[in-house]
Chains A and B, each alone.
Chain A
Amino acid sequence: MAITLDQTIAHKQQSWLAEKLSSQTFWVLVAVILACIFLSFATDSFATSKNLYNITRNVTFVAIIALGMTLVIITGGIDLSVGSVLCLCSMILGVVMHAGYSIEVGIAASIATALVIGACHGVLIAYIGMPSFVVTLATLSIARSLAMVASGNTVVFQFGPDHDKLLALGGGAWFFGIANPVVYMVVLALLTGFILRWTRFGRYIYAIGGNEHAAILTGVPVRQIKVAVYMISSLSAGIAGIIQTGWLGAITTNIGTGLELQVIAAAVIGGAALAGGVGTALGAIVGAALIEVIRNSLGLLGINAFWQGCFIGGAILFAVLFDRIRKFRQSE
């Protein structure tokens, strides 16, 4: 009997490696890597720089919003409005720039729109106590409708004097041939990861998802944190909207339709638990990557695109099922 109390306290039950190995995010990452290796050998066109450029860029829009969504999901909420908010923010950007204003004004207007929407969500959810599902479901409808009103339901493809700047912002590749959206995604992912791990704000987000009542009792400013989280979620949709506008070079009122489900799928595949309290920035990116790799590979392997939904749905079920089985084993 040589183990003292101090040694017991200093010890940790699970080692760092064991912890990583037991996370859903890790296994999804393994799946993504294996799929990439398989596709590199199985097809000639996967491991080409053009295809990789496409994949990485396509991932970003879902991934950026999934970062914001992950924060909401960690607090135990949901944001169904992101697809419509993306559309509205793109449209505001387009309409403002089309009217002859500079790109700075357009982006500011677009970001402000996103923040106002997020603040409304946060206040209705945290202060009035409405369910996040209902509030954001309403905005899903409202934001797209407003986008139609703002544009007269037309396609906007001329962005005034700063037209080229906007296209370069979203469609260019300023660093080492990496598509700009990818750079934005990496920066935002690092920022989100940092916030979650190293700031008090991040700690409180997990605390609210783990036990909201406990968070209130210990003096965590739960309402303010929730408002901030919904603002970040809308902001991430707005940012994705701005980048996507620059990349596509045109905005229709149906962009981002159904995007909320892809985003939620990415977050969940990446390990975020809809019950709250669990989720990471890396998970959001990895989840979005898996979805994009599945999408891309079906095309390359010559499988009919109609099957896409089945594979993505299967990935959602499989990722969560895998996690359940692992937990059953642990509890035995």
Chain B
Amino acid sequence: MAVLELTNISKHFGAIQAVNDVSFSIEAGEVVGLMGDNGAGKSTLVKMIAGNFSPSHGTMRMDGAELVLNKPVEARRHGIEIVHQDLALCDNLTAAANVFLGREIRRGVGPFRILDYASMYKRAGQIFAELKSETRPRDLVKQMSGGQRQAVAIARTRLSEAKIVLMDEPTAAISVRQVAEVLNLIRHLRDQGIAVVLISHRMPDVFDVADRVIVMRRGRKVADKRIAASSPEEVTGLITGAIEQVA
């Protein structure tokens, strides 16, 4: 059974049709590359899966059960984690505070609960070690490099037992060595049976790590193919519209 199944999903903002009748499904442990030009509807689609927007039409199913999300918190509760394109970091907070933002560890009884700094530093440190990232939980994010910031954003997805991780352009603004690290991390997630949706402009990354590629153009899905059965040339053609649509 598919871990996530989208059926005839559409989203419009007023007169603008951002996503138009898109259907696809993802299996556990599968890496799906989601590609398309700017404004193709990738981010809107992902934001619906993440609970930021609700679809205008269509249904989402998770493990066969209908999935209705009104808030990002609800998506998380269902095991959907997202790494936002702008990483959604607060520069004035420490790495650990950012990792735990919105789900802080607290100790105490009833309403008298205080932040458990020690536990959060420790857990964040463990996650950074797992990610093989030289990121210090106690340092302010303001002082960090692009790769470290990426690690902080990715570390958030490791707090819970995620079923699906959505990554919005995770390799857009980091160095070559760090790209390799992020791709390794994606494989690491896949090996644990987590489904990964990788939104990317970078053809090599998608062809390196993804099992399947979905191409969107002007709000519609124009391709959904195994990576092995496709080629960068074909995908480029689909993105630009030189190739209209493939099965």
Question: Which A residues contact B (CB, under 8 angstroms)?
Answer: 5-6, 8-14, 197-200, 203, 206-207, 209-211, 213-215, 217-220, 277-278
Say yes or no: is B2 at the interface (Cβ < 8 Å to chain A): no
B91, B129, B143: the one contacting A13 at CB < 8 Å is: B143
B91 touching A211, Cβ below 8 Å: yes
B84, B86, B90, B115: the one contacting A207 at CB < 8 Å is: B90
In this complex, how many residues of chain B approach chain A with their Cβ under 8 Å: the count is 35
**How far, in whole Å, are A112 and B90 apart by their CA atoms in the complex?**
34
A206-B93, A211-B89, A219-B73 known; A200 vs B136 contact (CB < 8 Å)? no
Query: Can you give 6 contacting A-B residue pairs, CB < 8 Å?
Result: A13-B138, A198-B114, A199-B115, A214-B87, A215-B101, A220-B101
A-side contacts of B52, CB under 8 Å? 217
Q: Which of A12, A198, A217 has the largest count of B CB atoms less than 10 A from its CB?
A: A217
A-side contacts of B156, CB under 8 Å? 218
B-side contacts of A206, CB under 8 Å? 90, 92-93
B84 touching A217, Cβ below 8 Å: yes
B-side contacts of A217, CB under 8 Å? 52, 72, 84, 88
A6-B129, A277-B92 known; A13 vs B73 contact (CB < 8 Å)? no
A-side contacts of B84, CB under 8 Å? 214, 217
B90 touching A219, Cβ below 8 Å: no
A5 touching B136, Cβ below 8 Å: no
A6, A13, A197, A210: the one contacting B90 at CB < 8 Å is: A210
B103, B113, B134: the one contacting A5 at CB < 8 Å is: B134
**How far, in whole Å, are A151 and B128 apart by their CA atoms in the complex?**
62
Q: Which of B87, B88, B91 has the largest count of A CB atoms less than 10 A from its CB?
A: B88
**How far, in whole Å, are A185 and B125 apart by their CA atoms in the complex?**
38
A203-B97, A210-B91, A211-B88 known; A5 vs B129 contact (CB < 8 Å)? yes
A-side contacts of B90, CB under 8 Å? 206-207, 210-211, 214-215, 277
**How far, in whole Å, are A14 and B92 apart by their CA atoms in the complex?**
15
B92 touching A209, Cβ below 8 Å: yes
B139 touching A214, Cβ below 8 Å: no
B-side contacts of A200, CB under 8 Å? 104, 106, 113, 115
B-side contacts of A14, CB under 8 Å? 139
A9-B129, A9-B134, A13-B139 known; A219 vs B102 contact (CB < 8 Å)? yes
A5 touching B91, Cβ below 8 Å: no
A-side contacts of B125, CB under 8 Å? 6, 9-10
Minimum CB–CB distance for B139 against chain A, Å: 5
A218 touching B101, Cβ below 8 Å: yes
Chain B 141-165 interface 0/1 with A at a Cβ cutoff of 8 Å (1 = within): 0010000000000001000000000
Say yes or no: is B137 at the interface (Cβ < 8 Å to chain A): yes
B-side contacts of A211, CB under 8 Å? 88-91
Which residue in chain B gives the minimum CB-CB distance to A14? Answer: B139
**How far, in whole Å, are A116 and B92 apart by their CA atoms in the complex?**
31
A13 touching B115, Cβ below 8 Å: no
B91 touching A277, Cβ below 8 Å: yes
Q: Which of A6, A203, A213, A218 has the largest count of B CB atoms less than 10 A from its CB?
A: A218
A-side contacts of B129, CB under 8 Å? 5-6, 9
**How far, in whole Å, are A45 and B148 apart by their CA atoms in the complex?**
56
A219 touching B93, Cβ below 8 Å: no
Minimum CB–CB distance for A267 against chain B, Å: 16
**How far, in whole Å, are A324 and B135 apart by their CA atoms in the complex?**
27
B-side contacts of A10, CB under 8 Å? 125, 136
A218 touching B92, Cβ below 8 Å: no
Say yes or no: is B220 at the interface (Cβ < 8 Å to chain A): no
B97, B113, B136: the one contacting A12 at CB < 8 Å is: B136
**How far, in whole Å, are A299 and B44 apart by their CA atoms in the complex?**
63
Say yes or no: is B132 at the interface (Cβ < 8 Å to chain A): yes
B-side contacts of A11, CB under 8 Å? 136
A198 touching B136, Cβ below 8 Å: no
**How far, in whole Å, are A197 and B89 apart by their CA atoms in the complex?**
19
**How far, in whole Å, are A200 and B111 apart by their CA atoms in the complex?**
11
**How far, in whole Å, are A10 and B101 apart by their CA atoms in the complex?**
20
Which residue in chain A gives the minimum CB-CB distance to B105? Answer: A200
**How far, in whole Å, are A220 and B128 apart by their CA atoms in the complex?**
23
**How far, in whole Å, are A6 and B156 apart by their CA atoms in the complex?**
19
Chain B 97-125 interface 0/1 with A at a Cβ cutoff of 8 Å (1 = within): 10001111010000001110000000001
Chain B 192-203 interface 0/1 with A at a Cβ cutoff of 8 Å (1 = within): 000000000000
A-side contacts of B114, CB under 8 Å? 198-199
**How far, in whole Å, are A14 and B134 apart by their CA atoms in the complex?**
16
Given contacts A9-B136, A200-B106, 7 further A-B contacts (CB under 8 A): A9-B134, A13-B136, A199-B113, A206-B92, A206-B93, A207-B90, A214-B86
Which residue in chain B gives the minimum CB-CB distance to A275? Answer: B92
Minimum CB–CB distance for B222 against chain A, Å: 29
Say yes or no: is B76 at the interface (Cβ < 8 Å to chain A): yes
B136 touching A8, Cβ below 8 Å: yes
Which residue in chain B gives the minimum CB-CB distance to A6? Answer: B129
B-side contacts of A12, CB under 8 Å? 136, 138-139
Minimum CB–CB distance for B56 against chain A, Å: 21
A5, A8, A199, A220: the one contacting B102 at CB < 8 Å is: A220
